[in-house]
Amino acid sequence: MKISINKMAEMIEVPGIRKFSNKLVDYPNAVNLTIGQPDFPTPELVKKAGIKAIENNETGYSHNAGLLDLRKAVSLFFKDCYGFYYNPEHEIVITNGASEAIDSTFRTILSPGDEVILPTPIYLGYAPIIEMCGAKVVYLDTTDTGFTPSPQRLKSLITAKTKAVLFNFPSNPTGMTIEKEQMDELVAVLEQHEIFILSDEIYSENTFTGEHVSFGQYEVIRDRLFLIHGLSKSHSMTGWRIGYVLGPKEYMAHVLKVHLYNSVCASLPSQHAAIVALNECRHTPEEMNVEYMRRRDFVYNRLVKMGLDVIKPNGAFYIFPSIAKYGMDSYSFATKLLKEGGVAAVPGSAFSTYGEGYLRISYAYAMPVLEEGMDRLEKFLQQF
């Protein structure tokens, strides 16, 4: 008899993003617009700090929660930029990227049978973690509300089984943000219910219109809020794997335990580099955003001229046009676009069933790549 493994592990699929980026091996001449990774180099000061740490043999373990100096830098960043304070000694844990922060937090708070509400379309990395914990995902449809969650709809989905709700704004895959007035309405609903709130704000520094509003700015929900963040997007440090989770002291002690049994601590050279990123390179995201906005405007205008129904994003570096009028499911459309059009993009169905009928395009690529990609997409659409 064959030895069995965890059924949940068997059920988990390779993410749609990776499915299409992996297909590029067979289409070496295709334009790749799938991955949400900044094409800017890590800032020089940050790289030098990492190199210096290695040269100084700072290559061992740190405190499980991360270097205190880094936790202090994280705390100061949020205090200076958003006006709220988290105690670096008890309320902040440094993790191996924001992904591990999400995993450790969910594994801390979820039990079998719990429910977690996810506004959708949404990043595809949340649901598998929730389901691996034996919990159930409940989707909050935003496709008819401008890709932002309706407070009334959120309220209608909360039941006795609801353990948490997760928000990701600016959003992957839509690039949408939440305005303060709507955030106020969401918080008014959340404060009436004893449920956890996870806010993945990894793209907060890539906000193009107005100012980012953080759930951490609302004191009424701070006793059950976990704030997820990191440096991958803001400082082009995806491979350095530095994320962090901030939350109430009483719960963070348990998150720390899950984290340390998962990975002991984050990479020490990366932590030293992160201190410099937060303390000395706060200007970096703003500089990158100038180019991101130029790329966004170019891609948006091209898509509109092609006749695609699309909402102009105001954060992150993704755009989410509708391809429903072409009468194909998004996976088939994306496959045909890759094979016949020479462009790799991610089918909307990768971001839950509510993403069906859409295509995610990443504009975290240099302008020549985007120009070629849009030219090929336009030519491809002429056949319909």
Average pLDDT over residues 202-215: 96
Confidence of residue 6 (pLDDT cuts 50, 70, 90): confident
Report the alpha-carbon distance of residue 336 to residue 319 in Å, rounded: 19
Mean pLDDT, residues 342-350: 95
DSSP bridge partners of 168: 200
Q: Do 185 and 126 have their domain in common?
A: yes
- Among 201, 187, 189, smallest CA distance to 158 is for 189
Pairwise CA distance, residues 310 & 351, whole Å: 17
**β-pairing verdict for 243-246 and 225-230:** antiparallel
Side chain identity at residue 82, one-letter code:
Y
Residue-by-residue DSSP string for 136-181: EEEEEE-TTTTTS--HHHHHHH--TTEEEEEEESS-TTT-----HH
Structure tokens at 43: 């800032």
User: Look-up: residue for tokens 């030895």?
Assistant: 3
Per-residue model confidence as pLDDT tens digits over 60-87: 999 999 999 999 999 999 999 999 999 9
- Specify if 115 maps to a domain: yes
pLDDT above 80 (res 16): no
Indicate whether 345 and 356 sit together in one domain: yes
Would you say residue 265 lies in a domain?
yes
Other C-beta atoms closer than 10 Å to the C-beta of 209 total: 13
Contact assessment for residue 339 and residue 24, using Cβ atoms and an 8 Å cutoff? no
The residues, any chain, with a CB within 8 Å of residue 205's CB and separated by 6 or more, are 212, 233, 234, 285, 286, 289
Our count of domains for the chain comes to 2
Residue 327, both tokens:
């009468």
Question: Which of these three, 228, 262, 280, is where a domain ends?
Answer: 280
Residue 2 located in a structural domain: no
Quick check: is 184 in a domain?
A: yes
pLDDT given for residue 176 in this prediction: 97
Q: Is residue 131 located within the same domain as residue 230?
A: yes
Q: What is the mean pLDDT of residues 368-384?
A: 97
**Do 369 and 349 lie in a common domain?**
yes
Q: Based on the fold, state whether residues 186 and 97 are members of the same structural domain.
A: yes
pTM score, whole prediction = 0.95
Q: Please check whether residues 238 and 336 belong to one and the same domain.
A: no
Report which residue type is found at 195.
Answer: I
Instruction: Calculate the CA dihedral of residues 254, 256, 257, 263 and round it to 10 degrees.
Output: 150
CATH (domain of 115)? 3.40.640.10
Could you tell me if residue 1 is inside a domain? no
pLDDT above 90 covers a percentage of the chain that reads: 91
29, 109: one domain: no
Cα separation, 256 vs 267, in Å, equals 16
Asked if residue 239 belongs to a domain, the reply is yes
Average pLDDT over residues 239-263: 97
Nearest to 175 by CA among 370, 351, 378, 377: 351
Per-residue pLDDT at 354: 96
Q: Does the residue 305 lie in any domain?
A: yes
Same-domain pairing of 170 and 319: no
How sure is the predictor about 18, in pLDDT bands with cuts at 50, 70 and 90? low
Q: Which domain holds residue 375?
A: 7-42+284-381
Which distant-in-sequence residues (6+ apart) come within 8 Å of 308 by Cβ? 321, 322, 323, 381
What single string gives the DSSP state of each residue in 331-353? Answer: HHHHHHIIIII-EE-EEGGGG-G
| Cα–Cα distance list, 271 to 184, 233, 262, 266, 383 (Å) | 35, 16, 18, 7, 51
- DSSP single-letter state for residue 41: P
Considering the domain boundaries, does residue 144 fall inside one?
yes
Looking at the fold, whether 217 and 234 belong to one and the same domain comes out as yes
Spatial separation of the C-alpha atoms in residues 182 and 351, rounded to whole Å: 23
- Closest by Cα among 264, 231, 221 to 62: 264
Q: Alpha-carbon distance 47 to 41, whole Å? A: 9
* Same domain for 19 and 114: no
Give the CATH number for residue 340: 3.90.1150.10
- Per-residue pLDDT band at 320 (split at 50, 70, 90): very high
Q: Are residues 265 and 216 in the same domain?
A: yes
Tokens for 165, please give them. 């709700």
**Last residue of some domain: 244, 259, 280?**
280
**Pair (261, 368) in one structural domain:** no
- Amino acid type, 170: P
d(C-alpha 250, C-alpha 384), whole Å = 58
For 170-183, what is the mean pLDDT? 97
Tens-place pLDDT, residues 115-156: 999 999 999 999 999 999 999 999 999 999 999 999 999 999
* Burial classification of residue 307, based on how many CB atoms lie within 10 Å of its CB (0-12 exposed, 13-18 middle, 19 or more buried): exposed
Give the end of a domain, one of 257, 280, 303: 280
List, in order, residues 6 or more apart from 118 with CB less than 8 Å away: 126, 127, 137, 138, 139, 140, 165, 166, 352
Distance CA 165, CA 378 (A): 39
